Amino acid sequence: MTLTAIDWLVIALYFVLSVAIALYYSRRAGASSDEYFLSGRAVPWWLAGTSMVATTFAADTPLVVTGLTVKYGIAGNWLWWCMVMSGILTVVFYARLWRRSGVMTDAEFAEIRYSGRPAAFLRGFRACYLALAINSIIIGWVTAAMAKIVGMTLHVGKVEATVGLFVLTGVYSSISGLWGVVVTDFFQFALAMTGCIALAFFALGAVGGMSGLLATLHTRFPDDAPLRVIPPLDSAWMPALTFFVYLAVNWWASWYPGAEPGGGGYVAQRIFSTKNERHALLAALWFNIAHYALRPWPWIIVALVSMVLYPGLEDPESGYVKVMVDHLPPFWRGFLIAAFFAAYMSTISTQLNWGASYLVNDVYRRFWVRRRDERHYAAAGRVATLLMMAISGVVTLNIGTVEGAWKFLLAIGAGTGLVYLLRWYWWRVNAWSEVSAMVAALVFSLVAQLGLGLSADDPRGFAKLLLTTTAATTVVWLVVTYLTAPEPAEHLRAFYRRVRPGGPGWRAIVPDASADAALGAGLVQWALGCVVVYLGLFGIGGLVLGRPAQGALAVFAALGLTWYLVTATRGSAPPTG
């Protein structure tokens, strides 16, 4: 790709603005760990929700969606579309509970839900596992995707690109704290979406518009396989078993960043940072609508165009970048490169800040250095951010495909989801329940993949891997739960008074915790929320793919149900005793 002076100017202006925002918030970030990691718990819902979306919109996302669409058609995106059900559970049931808990990280939650040494062990174990292992994998695959983009557009080697990206983002993240991250996220999300929509527009121009694209696809694929939203159940790439697992098991059974059952990770961090419980709920709702319904179609259009322009491409994920390199005019080339940097930096800055919050709040402050002033812990957060950057750099150089990394994380987290959902609503869950679930999921997944030959890249193998690991992990943590002592009754009552989850699962400890009607209303709202997102997703798809009447009807229905859902939850709260 040849960049003109105006392209370089656009890229330079993006970096100047990003650094200016980081510097503006640097003094505020250094005031305390609460400011550095949670923005003083004063973020409005629209900013917190947009920051969540921007974090999930990384440099890897358009590439992996392109790879899925080219290999499996539009329906290949059910790999992540199935997570809608988990996200709406967080909106309806868990967002306000997280905000009410008052913790800084979801690892800290362990010591308000559980007690004694097991709770302390779980807090430290989970913090290190997520910050140093899981987070490094996420940062690694996102950086590997961005290095691929930089290499194809600016002709920079992978090692050089990786070092440059980490130095740039690590310094920016360590300076700004969460306020700088969320404010920059808002600006970066708008930039990234505008760039992707522009690329889709120019890509369609290269194939004769939408009518030309559809006509070519109809000719090459008489069965319209690439355009199907629901896969044929006898297909080789997503047989009925695999599709069933996605819809019925994967979304609640697997821990996955951004779609954790019951919320967690950086989604929980943004919820903690909101002004109050109402803002927490609205932030989570906006995140799920924008994440699933608004973002995908510009990427899918470019993926379909790449099928027409570059049939048989050895690396389908690179088709997105090839369209960008070959068909963007000056100015827009620089704009989209800046948009990719924005998408990359919004994700990495969050991952670094979120991971550092575990290392500082749940390891350094909890176990090593206590009772220091807040500025000390804010400074420690900056050091932890740079440490995580260095560890993640090593992982980046060993990442293969982004899709493969996605599936690997889904597999090693399979079976843990149920304990994360039930720990809020069932008193008998204890610290060893969570520890055993995490260990069992990792062990069973590795045994199934390395010992039994079940591959996450094979559709049937992935389904069997998920079912086997989920079943075995669930049995293990339930057995461990009943073989170990329950948490002390007074500790459980203190947790209940603090969070007020309600439900029949607490009656043994809090006799008046009867809230079946409220739970039933919550389940209705959950179902409506899922309908809202899927109507929006497929309605926009209908508008884009030449079915305007059908698409418009679905979009208007989604808007109406969204209004109803927001109104219905205005005065409601999670079930209380």
**Is residue 22 over pLDDT 60?**
yes
Residues composing the chain: 577
Identity of residue 333:
R
CA 94 to the chain's CA centroid: 16
More confident residue, 47 or 448: 47
21-30, 229-238, 360-369, 508-517: range with lowest mean pLDDT: 508-517
- The pLDDT assigned to 408 comes to 63
Q: Hey, what domains does the chain have and what are their CATH numbers?
A: 5-25+42-568 (1.20.1730.10)
Q: What is the pLDDT of residues 68-82, one digit of tens each?
A: 899 888 988 988 899
**Is residue 238 over pLDDT 80?**
no
**Is residue 399 over pLDDT 60?**
no
More confident residue, 82 or 404: 82
Q: What is the average pLDDT across 32-61?
A: 85
Place 406 in a pLDDT band, splitting at 50, 70 and 90.
low
**Rounded Cα distance, 104 and 273, in Å:** 9
**Is residue 536 over pLDDT 80?**
yes
- The pLDDT assigned to 264 comes to 83
- The pLDDT assigned to 577 comes to 39
More confident residue, 34 or 406: 34
- The pLDDT assigned to 575 comes to 44
Alpha helices in 318-458 (DSSP H): 319-327, 332-357, 374-396, 402-412, 417-422, 431-446
Q: What is the average pLDDT across 421-447?
A: 91
- The pLDDT assigned to 71 comes to 87
Place 32 in a pLDDT band, splitting at 50, 70 and 90.
confident
Q: What does the DSSP 8-state code read for residue 360?
A: I
Backbone angles phi, psi at 106, to 5 degrees: -70, -20
Contact 153, 1 (CB under 8 A): yes
- The pLDDT assigned to 23 comes to 81
Q: What does the DSSP 8-state code read for residue 316?
A: G
Q: How many other C-beta atoms lie within 10 A of the C-beta of residue 484?
A: 15
The percent of residues above 90 in pLDDT, for the chain, comes to: 40
**Rounded Cα distance, 67 and 63, in Å:** 6
User: How large is the angle between the packed helices 60-72 and 296-309, nearest 10 degrees?
Assistant: 60
Q: Identify the three-state secondary structure at position 162.
A: helix
**Is residue 324 over pLDDT 80?**
yes
**Is residue 401 over pLDDT 90?**
no
Q: What is the average pLDDT across 411-419?
A: 79
pTM of the model: 0.88
Place 66 in a pLDDT band, splitting at 50, 70 and 90.
very high
Place 205 in a pLDDT band, splitting at 50, 70 and 90.
very high
Backbone angles phi, psi at 425, to 5 degrees: -120, 0
Q: What is the average pLDDT across 476-500?
A: 95
The percent of residues above 70 in pLDDT, for the chain, comes to: 91
**Is residue 574 over pLDDT 50?**
no
